[in-house]
Structure 1
Amino acid sequence: TVPQAERRDDEKIYHKMSIAELQLLAPAIDWLDYLSYALAPLELTDTEPVVVYGDTYLQQVSDLINDTDRSILNNYLIWNLVQKTASSLDQRFETAQERLLETLYGTRKSCTPRWQTCISNTDDTLGFALGSLFVKATFDRDSKAIAEEMISEIRAAFEVSLDQLDWMDEKTRQAAKEKADAIYDMIGFPDFILDNKELDDVYDGYEVSEDSFFQNMLNFYNFSAKVMADQLRKPPNRDQWSMTPQTVNAYYLPTKNGIVFPAGILQAPFYARNHPKALNFGGIGVVMGHELTHAFDDQGREYDKEGNLRPWWQNSSLEAFKNRTACMTEQYGRYTVHSEKVNGRQTLGENIADNGGLKAAYNAYKSWLQKNGEEKRLPALELTNHQLFFVGFAQVWCSVRTPESSHEGLVTDPHSPDKYRVIGTLSNSRDFVEHFGCPLGSPMNPGKHCEVW
Structure 2
Amino acid sequence: MDGHYLYNSEKFDFTSYFKIAWNLDEEERSSDSDFKKMDEVCGRHPEAVANYLAMQLLYAFDANLQDIKYQKDYCAATMRSSMWPLFKKLFLAENFSEKERTEVSEIVQEVRSSWRMLLERMDFLNKETRREALGRESILETNIHPNEYTLLTDRLVQEILNVEVVDGNFAVTSMNLMRLKVDIQRFSTRHSLDQSSGIRTQEGAFQLNSKLTIFAGGLHPPAYHRSLPDSLKYGTLGYIIGQLLTSSLVDSDDFEMLYSLHKECLAKPFSKHLKPKYVRLFYLFIGHGGLRQAFEAYRSHRKQLLEDPERNVTSEEMPGLDLSPEQLFFLGFAQMYCPSDPNWAQQKHLVLSALSNSQDFHQAFNCPVGSRMRPSKFNCYIWY
TM-score (norm 2): 0.68
Aligned to 1:360: 293
The question of 1:383 aligning with 2:313 is answered no
TM-score (norm 1): 0.59
Mark the runs of 5 or more structure 1 residues left unpaired by the alignment.
1-25, 45-77, 96-109, 232-236, 303-312, 411-415
Residue 128 of structure 1 and its aligned partner are, at CA, apart by: 2.8
**Cα deviations by residue, 1:173-198 (Å, 9 ceiling, x for unpaired):** 111122223333232463654x6x86
Aligned to 2:359: 430
Distance between the aligned counterparts of 1:215 and 1:429, measured in 2?
A: 57
Aligned to 2:123: 166
Residue 429 of structure 1 and its aligned partner are, at CA, apart by: 1.1
The question of whether the paired residues in 2 share the 8 Å contact of 1:286 and 1:357 is answered with: yes
**Cα deviations by residue, 1:14-41 (Å, 9 ceiling, x for unpaired):** xxxxxxxxxxxx9x96669x98973317
- One of 216, 219, 233 as aligned partner of 1:262: 216
Distance between the aligned counterparts of 2:68 and 2:355, measured in 1?
A: 39
The question of 1:283 aligning with 2:232 is answered no
Residue 160 of structure 1 and its aligned partner are, at CA, apart by: 0.8
**Cα deviations by residue, 1:73-106 (Å, 9 ceiling, x for unpaired):** xxxxx9xxx9x999957354x78xxxxxxxxxxx
Distance between the aligned counterparts of 2:59 and 2:136, measured in 1?
A: 43
Residue 119 of structure 1 and its aligned partner are, at CA, apart by: 4.0
Residue 148 of structure 1 and its aligned partner are, at CA, apart by: 0.2
* The 10-residue stretch of structure 1 (167-176 or 240-249) with the greater mean CA deviation from structure 2: 240-249
Distance between the aligned counterparts of 1:442 and 1:256, measured in 2?
A: 43
User: Partner of 1:258: helix, strand, or coil?
Assistant: strand
What CA RMSD, in Å, does the superposition of the two structures yield over aligned residues? 4.5
The question of whether the paired residues in 2 share the 8 Å contact of 1:325 and 1:348 is answered with: no
User: Partner of 1:40: helix, strand, or coil?
Assistant: helix
Residue 431 of structure 1 and its aligned partner are, at CA, apart by: 0.6
The question of 1:90 aligning with 2:43 is answered no
User: Partner of 1:373: helix, strand, or coil?
Assistant: helix
Distance 1:153 1:43, change over 3 A: same
Paired AA for residue 199 in structure 1 = D
Aligned to 1:141: 98
Distance between the aligned counterparts of 2:147 and 2:87, measured in 1?
A: 13
User: Partner of 1:399: helix, strand, or coil?
Assistant: coil
Distance between the aligned counterparts of 1:125 and 1:382, measured in 2?
A: 46
User: Partner of 2:144: helix, strand, or coil?
Assistant: strand
Q: Percent identity?
A: 21
Distance between the aligned counterparts of 2:266 and 2:78, measured in 1?
A: 39
**Cα deviations by residue, 1:237-275 (Å, 9 ceiling, x for unpaired):** 9xx65766432535444543433242442x455434443
Residue 137 of structure 1 and its aligned partner are, at CA, apart by: 2.8
**Cα deviations by residue, 1:124-164 (Å, 9 ceiling, x for unpaired):** 44333211111223333201001101100011001111111
Distance 1:332 1:434, change over 3 A: closer
The question of whether the paired residues in 2 share the 8 Å contact of 1:354 and 1:425 is answered with: yes
The question of 1:444 aligning with 2:373 is answered yes
Aligned to 2:89: 132
